[in-house]
Amino acid sequence: MSTEFTSYLHEVFSRFGTIQVKRMFGGFGIYHQGLMFGLVADDILYLKVDTESKQVFEKRGLKPFEFDRHDKIIKMSYYQAPEEIFDDFEEATIWANLAYHAALKTHKTKKKPL
């Protein structure tokens, strides 16, 4: 796992805002304001999706993050980021906002009522 790649993400998302990169399992979580909106596995960036934004990723042919656990494929609510965000930081901001809003929605639905 390349720390060079994860270090570069600070530059990619510089117009979006400050991010934190934290090691987790075999990869890294990408956080903004305490919410995980992306993950890196095998030097591939995946961004958080919800039911609405998932369609945007699928229409672009972007693949979901999945892994094998005990001979069962587990798909998570993260999809591969489009390649152009690594060269176009305005585009990176658009996709980061989409992922961050998906993370916000998920976070709100997980809160327990009082």
Domains of the chain by residue range:
3-110
3-class DSSP state for residue 58? Answer: helix
User: What dihedral do alpha carbons 37, 61, 57, 44 form, nearest 10°?
Assistant: 10
Residue-wise pLDDT for 7-44, tens only, equals 999 999 999 999 999 998 889 999 999 999 999 999 99
Cα 96 to Cα 35: distance, rounded to the nearest angstrom:
12
Residue-wise pLDDT for 69-89, tens only, equals 888 988 889 999 999 999 999
Average pLDDT over residues 37-57: 96
Question: Please, is 21 exposed, middle or buried when counting C-beta atoms within 10 Å of its C-beta (0-12, 13-18, 19+)?
Answer: middle
Instruction: Give the count of beta carbons closer than 10 Å to the beta carbon of residue 61.
Output: 8
The fourth-level CATH superfamily of domain 3-110 is YgaC/TfoX-N like chaperone (3.30.1460.30)
Q: Computed over its alpha carbons, how large is the radius of gyration of the chain? A: 14
